[in-house]
Each structure stands twice: as C-alpha cells, then as structure tokens.
Chains A and B, each alone.
Chain A
Amino acid sequence: MTKALQDSSIGAWAVQRMPCLGAACTTLFAPTRAPEGAYLDLLPGLTAVTLALLTVSGLVLAVYYNPWHAFASIGFIRRGVHQGWLVQAYHATGTSMIFGLIYLTLLRAMLTRAYRAPGELVWLLGGKLYIILLLLGWLGFTLTGSLAGHVSLVVATSAAQALTSAPGAVARWIFGGPAGPGTLMRLEVLHVVLGGGAIIVLGLYGLARRAVRPPVEAGRGVAFFPYYAAQYGVALAVFGLIFTLFACFAPHAGQPALSAVPAAALASPAYVALPWYLAPLGAVADAVPGLGGGIIAVVAALAVLLALPWLDRSNGGRKGWLYGALIWLLALDVVGLGLARPGWLADLLVFWFFFHFLVLTPVVTAMEAP
C-alpha cells in the first residue's frame, strides 16, 4: 500500500511534503498482523470507536446543555432537538458500553496476566484510562441534574468543604462552593477537558500496547487490509448490534431509578445510588466511615489495582489454575459490590477486594511459580 501511495503522482507529491504519511501507511498497512487474531484483542479498538462517538455526541449535547436548568435542558434535548433523543441515547449508552469495554479489558489483562513485564506500562495506562473514565462518568452523572446525581454531588461538595489547607483550596477551585448550577457549569468544563485527557491516555495505551506486542512470525503477517479490517468489521458489527439494542430498547439500563427524577434540594434518599459502572467504587467508599475515609478507601482500591504488576510474585512463571479461579472470584466480587447495598455483605466484599490484591495475589502467585 505504501508502494501504491508512492507510485501515484498525488501520493508521491503528498509523501514528499509530509513524510509522516508514509510512516502512517507503513504502520497501518505493513504486514505486521497475524491473519487470525483474538477477537478480544480488538477491545481497545472498540474503546477508541466508542470514545470517538462519545466525543462527537457530547459536543452536540454541549450545544444545547444548560447547567442552570440541567434536568430540563436534557428533557428539551430529547424532545425539542432534531434527533436529540438519539444523540442523547448515543451518549448515555456509549458511557455504559465504554465502561463495559474497560472492565473487560482489565479482566482480560488479569486473566492472561498481560500486566506482567514487559506489560506494566500497558497495565498502568489501562488503569489510568479506567480512572479517567470513572471521573468522566461521575461528572456526566452529576451533569444530568437528576436527584441521584445531585445527591452524589452534594456528598462530594460537602466533603470538599470539610477539607482544609491545600486540598481544600483545590476542591474549592473545582466545585466553587456548595452544589448548585454554578458547580455544574464548572463540572461541565471539567467533563469536556477530561474527555480530551481520555483520548490522549487511550492513544498512549495503544502505543504502549503496540510496543510490547510480540512480533509476527516471518511470512505469517498480512497487511492491514483486507483481513484485519474484515475482523474489525465483524467485531464492530457485533458491538454495534449490542449498542443498538441497548440504545433503543434499554436506554436507561444500569441507571438508578432516581436518575429519572429532577434534583430537589430538600429530598434526601436513604443512600447514594450510582450507575452500575460507578457502583463498585461507591460501595468501597461507603464501607469506610466518614467522608475522608471514603476518599481514602477509593484511592486505596485504585492504588492496589494499579500496583498489580508488582503484587504478582510469579516472576514470569507459568499460569496456575488457582490464581485464575481467584481472578474470576474477584470479578464476581466486583459485580457483587455493584449490586450490594450498604451493610455487612458490602463490607465483606470490600474486605475480599483488598484481601485478594494484598494477600492472596502475592501468596498464590509465589506459590504457583516454580
């Protein structure tokens, strides 16, 4: 393909002036891919497609979104804007889908133990992407102006106001006082900026992944087109089908019921209900008493997740069945965290999460390594 580009007169003209074009074509079309890759290898690609869809639909929503009448403006988008219901469904369902993809990506990296050397950087960037998506998801959740989002925002701003010295100053700069329309306007700006950050981190993740990918055996590689694109096409078709089913038939799947109610200053539900993708970490925050305790618990949970390459003591040894079973148990644990209401069961699940990373992972991997 690079040769074809240079053979055509326009291609030669462009490559002469923009040598990077040739490099891009080499990257895209050079025979560096085995003809039959694992479909799950395409998860980051699907994440990129979803992120692009979220970016474009988010920009369209931002044209009409009004933080001073947040809930009403989303109602207006769904009713008064041409195809607004569909663009809003793109954004809401896209959020659920990208979290589904990142959770799957992290689970797959754990199961295949791709996080071990030389994949530590890939794991760290994947975890960083997850953290940014969590922030983005939470900001978007509060921006809906629903009662559920409002209650979550009130908890966050109350915690921020309780902070003192430097953290308190930063929190005040971000939230600008108690939860209100002014706060939502700030959070809208932050949401847009962090969206750009997510794109950058996803790009770095892709680069890091490409750098550690084992080279294709000589003679086995094929060019990007048509095999690779065909595989992408199949993956995209399946993904698009799932996306469409959710967007059209279950647009509010995984959202708390109070998302359908506008924010009201005097209504206070029994507990902070979160969308499914934030619920596991919400349960972690709820398990530790006090506002500061919740923040510390969330930071600790994300820190042990990121530290996984160093908690694994197998030193590149073989994969054992027990550790694999424990990973599946952890997945069930996280699902349970998402479903459990505050109480002893949620506390137990939080304990298991930390126990898995801090005790079981080093012990079992060291035991199974030869």
Chain B
Amino acid sequence: MTDVNTQAGASVTIPPMVLAEQVSKSFGSNEVLKSISLEVKRGEVMCLVGPSGSGKSTFLRCINHLEVLSAGRLSVDGELIGYRETNGKLYEMAPKEASRQRRDIGMVFQRFNLFPHMTALENVMEAPIRVKGLPKAQVERSALDLLARVGLAERADYYPAHLSGGQQQRVAIARALAMEPKLMLFDEPTSALDPELVGEVLDVMKGLAKSGMTMIVVTHEMGFAKEVADSLVFMDGGVVVEAGDPDEILTNPQHRRTQAFLSKVL
C-alpha cells in the first residue's frame, strides 16, 4: 500500500491496482496456484514468466474472474473481485456485478479471439455500444482513433480472416482498449504469432506501457520484459519463485529454478 500525505496532512491510502493475497486455485485435486501473493502498483508493467503449466495464465484469468479462486483474496483497485464483503461475510457476486468489474479490465488472449463475423471496426465497437450503451457515432469515432493508434486505420473494414496474426492481435488490443480499462491483462499475446509478426504487437504494447497503462503480461519475450517491465515475476509449479527488478532477475537469478528456466529461454 502506498501512503500519500495530502495537503491537509491526513494520510490517505491509495490501494494498489492489483492485490493478490494467498491466492490459490485448484482444478479438482490439481492445485494450479499455491498461495500467490502479489502487488501491482498503478502504472506498473509486470511481466509474468515461467515454464508452461506454471499457473501464469490461470492467475491472469483469476484477475478478471474468468476463473473462480479456490482460496485467498484478490482485489483490483481496492475492490474485491467476484465477491462482495458485507459485515465480514463474503457473498458471491451476481453475473451482472462481475460483468461490471470486467468492463474495467481489458484482456488480450493468446489466440486473439476476435469475433470472426464482424469487421475489425465492428469488433472494436461492439462492447462500448452493447455494454456501455454509448451512441454509435461517438463509438465509431473513438474506435477509428484506436485502430489508427495500433496502426490499422486502413484495415477497419477487414474481417479478421483477412488480417495477419499480428494485425489480428493489434485489433484485439484496440478492442480491449475501447472499454477504457484501468488495467490490461495480456495472456501470451505473441505466442501464436509467426516470429516476424511479434515485433509489431510488442511495439503497440510498448506504446501502451509508455502511456501509463497498468499492465500484467504473461510472456516468453524476455527482451520485452527487460526493456518495458517495471517488475518481473518468475512462477513455477504454481508458486512465485522469484520476483523483483527485471534486469536483476534476468542477469543474476538467485533461485536455481529461475536459473534453469532462463538458461533455456535466453
């Protein structure tokens, strides 16, 4: 938690953007996340790295309640995710409330998951119109701006099938940004891309990080982590093995498992 002294001298606590306290998740008897505790500050870019099956993606999906926690607490911007706490008791949220929380959390998927029956522009416009109920003309203007921002103004009327993987992923980023989220989650955004298309997506993400967006990025791109991330978390077997400054961890990993993993990917 960050304590900020206001001009009046009173101490006001600004909650971190994401606060995970002993978060656990099991699928049946398979414990995928074991008591994860993490904190992501406002404007921070955190990279989650680790071997496949280490629970990175599951953790990311817990943050916007696509997966339900088995134990622990997870809050975004000071608000508990998926549950409402009244008088010390937790109440499961109605789908409507969960949807409201998800609006403020953008998510980008490994396989893009663009809506194939809509053009790039329609993909970006869908949620602001349907979910926020904004007027169409206004949404179209800002959607075109967003597409220009990811370098795809010329591709607005293309269907996803007519776009390359990198272009599709950039449309997906624009679609998530259209909801004006306060937090962006990236689930291996470049893993399904051909190597020569990775750069264009990372460029968009770098720009986004520079603009001050809070981001959690599950990635295997160590170069990106080194250049852009404020903090790096190495996960293995459902636990946080090592966390801290990216340069420090990448150049001088302390834990044996981190060393073993980095020796394979670097």
Chains A and B bind each other:
no
